[in-house]
Amino acid sequence: MTDLNVALETILLLASPFVPVAVGVMLRRKFRPAPAAEGAEPAPMTGSQKMGRLAGNILFWGGIAGLIFMVVVVLNYKGRI
Amino acid sequence: MKVLRTLLIFLSLALAGSYAFALEPVLWNDNNFAPEFKYFQEQAAFTAETWTALSPEARMKELLDAKEPALERQKVMKRYYAAAMAKWSGPALKNYLSRTKEADIKAVDLWQGKEKAAAFVKKLALVQALEKKARAEGLTEDDALALGPYLLPEAIADLRSLKASAAALKKQTSAEALKGPESKSGASLNKFAGADPSKLGADSFSKLYDNMNVSGTDPVVAGGGRYAAGAANAGAAAQLTAPQTKKAAFTVPEVKSAPAANTAKSTSLTSDAYGVTIYTSGAQQPQTFRKGEDAVAAIRKMPDGSITKVIFYGHGSPGLQTVGAFDVDAESAGEILKGKMARGGVVQYSGCNTASIGGMTLNPAVGLSMVARRLLYFSLPYYQDRADGVSAEQARQQWEKGWNADLARDTSLKVRGAVVCGYRTFGLVPGRLPGVTRLLGNQEATTPGVVAGKKACYQDGKEVPAQ
């Protein structure tokens, strides 16, 4: 039981840095600018769409920064830096 | 009617008496509150004198506050003792011999009583002596029989084969292989080559990471657990309790102007920075030492109350700070700095995770650091112990306490009056980044420059504003 608990906790902890990246990707897809017809101007995004895409960008790039941070921390732990 | 009146009188008297009894102040070491008082003693929270100075209401409040952690600690110590007195496997034997410290024995003495502590000491002493003998000359049948009550049969068999395997290893290992690759950056330079940290705006930079006011302001109540400070602490006691080097007093290098620092500058791409920096009252320049042993020798020669600030710089882990090959834990720091710190002087551990994680946080960087700390200092060693055959419960108990050890707080209880600071997080030093360190030429800096990390400071076990 203890092993199972620790394994579950480890999985959750390992997954946690990826959560903002995944949410960011979803939001960026959901609020992707609509493709314009050939030769036509793309339809302007509404305010809420812009906000959604901004939130997606922040989560995505913040998440990537978080992952890099984790790599740095692990390198630090290993005594490389 | 008469009977009823008599009953009422007795009832009133009993009520009045019980009220008076309730107001009676609880005396120091009252048996009815044994766990709480043991907890106070272990945490050095009160003495008989300071307890007597409290009002009866304040005493009751302290006892109520301490009840839960004290009972928890009592349970932990009961389990610890049970595990310690069970027959050890090979890995458990190794763990106990390398990690058991005087503080652990004291804790057993306090919580389990003198007889049990004596039994534990007897077991440790016998096993340690016979383990040494097993290495040197091998075990006889009588020795194996003596170990029977304390070790599992496979652990005894392991010990019996120790001499043969040591001899085989010696044969295989040439002197050259033992020497190992020479570190370009670590070996030659004993001088400080980095910039003065105070001129790098370290404090303002670290705000990016650490000054989130939403978390970590409450001191973490340490439930003890010092007996299981983790694998990173292995051997720390051995190194730190015997720091009495016989070298001559170290001559203090000039911080920046020493020409040797420039000529001997390492060309290494990666950082090998660590050292001890000591600020004393009345001195213009701090004294910096590359080797911990040199710093200890210098500290021993300093007058009492003369150190205003001391920085231990290197890699840290929960409950332990390293300075190159030299390790510092709360006990050794207490021993080294005993009486030497000026009132309000600062002991700074510039190493990762040298304080506990603290409370909740909204800072994502701090949160990620907490996640990493849990993974690296609980999950990882847990799996390593399991792979070594340690039982799940034993491994869990050991690392559950060790991963969040608070070196700064524990040190503040040993070095009374001084402010002891550590980092709740991984401390990132941009100057240590590969390549950057070469550009800055600070591969062997003995004092940290910019440190991005969440700092926590304690004085006498209580959290105080970061310094």
What ipTM was assigned to the predicted interfaces of this complex? 0.86
Element (DSSP H or E) covering residue B275: strand B275-280
Of the candidates B236, B379, B389, B217, the one whose C-alpha atom is nearest the C-alpha of residue B312 is: B236
* Of residues A3, A20, A70, nearest to B392 (C-beta): A3
Read off the pLDDT of residues B108-143 as tens digits, 9 standing for 90 and up: 888 888 888 888 888 888 888 888 888 788 888 888
Nearest Cβ partner of A6 from B315, B368, B379?
B379
At residue B151, the pLDDT reads: 87
For B364, name the nearest residue in chain A, comparing CA atoms only.
A66
pLDDT at B455: 93
Cα B409 from Cα A19, distance rounded (Å): 34
Query: For residue B3, what pLDDT is reported?
Result: 62
Least confident of B20-34, B274-288, B352-366: B20-34
The angle at the Cα of A65, spanning A60 to A68, to the nearest 5 degrees, equals 130
**pLDDT score of B245:** 35
Q: Residue A60: its chain B contacts at CB < 8 A?
A: none
Is the residue at A28 inside a domain? yes
**Most confidently predicted of A29-38, B224-233, B375-384, B431-440:** B375-384
B242-251, B282-291, B306-315: which range is least confident on average? B242-251
| Beta-bridge partners for B280 | B307
How do B307-313 and B275-280 pair as beta strands? antiparallel
Chain A residues within 8 angstroms (CB to CB) of chain B = 2-3, 6, 9-10, 13-14, 16-17, 20, 62, 66, 69-70, 72-74, 76-77, 79-81
Residue of B352, B364, B365 lying closest to A76 (CB–CB): B352
- First-to-last alpha carbon distance for chain B, in angstroms, is 74
Is the model's pLDDT at B419 over the cut of 90? Answer: yes
Q: Which of B315, B365, B433 sits opposite A69 (nearest CB)?
A: B365
- Give B432→chain A minimum CA distance, Å: 6
Q: Which residues between 408 and 467 in chain B have a beta carbon less than 8 angstroms from any beta carbon of chain A?
A: 426, 428, 432-434
- B222-231 pLDDT, tens digit each: 344 333 333 3
Q: How far apart are CA B49 and CA B54, in angstroms?
A: 9
Confidence of residue B310 (pLDDT cuts 50, 70, 90): very high
Q: Which residues of B touch A17 (CB under 8 A)?
A: 368, 371
Give dist(CA B93, CA B394) in Å, integer.
13
Which of A46-55, B37-46, B374-383, B410-419 is the least confident region?
Answer: B37-46
- pLDDT for B231: 37
B380-387 vs A2-15: helix axis angle to the nearest 10?
Answer: 140
Chain B nearest C-alpha distance from A37 (Å): 41
Whether residue A38 is contained in a domain is answered as no
pLDDT in tens, B135-183: 788 888 888 888 888 888 878 888 877 776 666 655 555 444 444 444 3
Evaluate if residue B387 carries a pLDDT over 60: yes
Q: What is the pLDDT of residue B19?
A: 46
How confident is the model over A34-41, as a mean pLDDT? 74
Question: Touching check for B393 and chain A: CB below 8 Å?
Answer: yes
Which is more confidently placed, B161 or B86?
A: B86
The whole-angstrom distance between A1's CA and the closest CA on chain B is: 9
B215 pLDDT higher than 70: no
CA gap B206, B286 in Å, rounded: 23
Indicate the pairing of strand B320-323 with strand B326-328. Answer: antiparallel
A37 within some domain: no
The structure tokens listed for B191 are 């001088």
Domain contains A54? yes
Chain A residues in contact with B430 by the CB 8 A cut-off are none
Report the residue from B315, B371, B396 with minimal CB separation from A17: B371
pLDDT of residue B165: 64
Number of residues in chain A: 81
Residue B452 has pLDDT above 70, yes or no: yes
Give the Cα separation of B36 and B54 in Å (integer).
16
Rg for chain B (alpha carbons), in Å?
Answer: 26
A·B CB contacts under 8 A? 56
CA distance A43 to chain B (A): 36
Of B374, B386, B392, the CB nearest to A13: B374
Rama region for B258: left / alpha / beta (φ>0; ψ in -120 to 50; rest): beta
Predicted pLDDT at B200: 38
What one-character DSSP code corresponds to residue B87? P
- Domain ranges, residue A57: 2-32+45-77
* Conformational region of residue B374, where left means phi above 0, alpha means psi within -120 to 50, and beta covers everything else: alpha
**Percentage of residues in chain B with pLDDT exceeding 70?**
72
- At residue B7, the pLDDT reads 60
Signed CA dihedral, A65, A69, A70, A72: sign only: positive
- Shortest Cα distance, chain B CAs vs residue A53, angstroms: 20
Highest mean pLDDT pick, B39-53, B68-82, B349-363: B349-363
The pLDDT of residue B305: 92
- Residue-wise burial string across A39-69, b where 16 or more C-beta atoms lie within 10 A, e elsewhere: eeeeeeeeeebeebbeebeebbeebeebeeb
Q: Please write the tens of the pLDDT for every residue from B234-266.
A: 333 333 333 333 333 333 333 333 333 333 445
Give the whole-angstrom CA distance, residue B157 versus residue B93: 13
3-state secondary structure B107-140: HHHHHHCHHHHHHHHHHHHHHHHHHHHHHHCCCC
Cα distances from B36 to residues A63, B28, B218, B220, B311, in angstroms, run 45, 10, 21, 18, 35
Query: How many Å lie between the alpha carbon of A7 and the closest alpha carbon of chain B?
Result: 8
Mean pLDDT value of segment B291-296: 91
How far apart (Å, rounded) are the C-alpha atoms in residues B70 and B42? 10
Q: What is the DSSP string of B151-214?
A: B-HHHHHHHHTHHHHHHHHHHH--HHHHH-PPPTTTSS--S--SPPGGGTTHHHHHHHHH--TT
Domain locations along chain B: 2-176, 182-464
> Which residues of chain A does B365 touch, with a Cβ-Cβ cutoff of 8 Å?
66, 69
Calculate the dihedral angle through the C-alpha atoms of A68, A72, A73, A74, rounding to the nearest 10 degrees.
100
Q: Give the residue from A73, A74, A78 with the most B CB atoms within 10 Å of its CB, the best one to mutate.
A: A73
pLDDT category at A24 given cuts 50, 70, 90 is very high
| pLDDT (0 to 100) of residue B69 | 80
Whether residue B296 is predicted with pLDDT greater than 90 in this model: the reply is yes
pLDDT at B193: 36
